[in-house]
Amino acid sequence: MIRRQTLAAAAAAVAALVALSAWLFEWSFEKAAFLAPVIVATAGATAFVFVLWTKVAWEQLRGSRHPVAIAAGIVGTLVLLVVLSFFVELPAYH
């Protein structure tokens, strides 16, 4: 049996995801509510993949000989991507 607190937390999370999707994609709340199962499944799958690959990267980093150099290279690459993204002009969709 599901506890009331767990059910309330899950309902609040679903409502937040639906509201965020409606705002982000400029949908009506009804359309977002209709797509709630897809939205929740996508959010869950995205979180799963993020946690999985974070764990894989952490384990590989711990087992390497030069973890500080690898971490510095990863951070440097991310900073470079962020800086270069300011020089790319994306087409505007209206």
| Domain residue spans of the chain | 4-85
**What's the count of helices (H) and strands (E) in the chain, helices before strands?**
4, 0
| pTM of the model as a whole | 0.69
Q: Calculate the CA dihedral of residues 43, 44, 49, 55 and round it to 10 degrees.
A: 120
Name 18's Cβ contacts closer than 8 Å, sequence gap at least 6.
29, 32, 33, 36, 39
State the pLDDT at residue 87: 85
| Per-residue pLDDT tens over the stretch 52-88 | 999 998 898 888 889 899 889 999 999 999 999 888 8
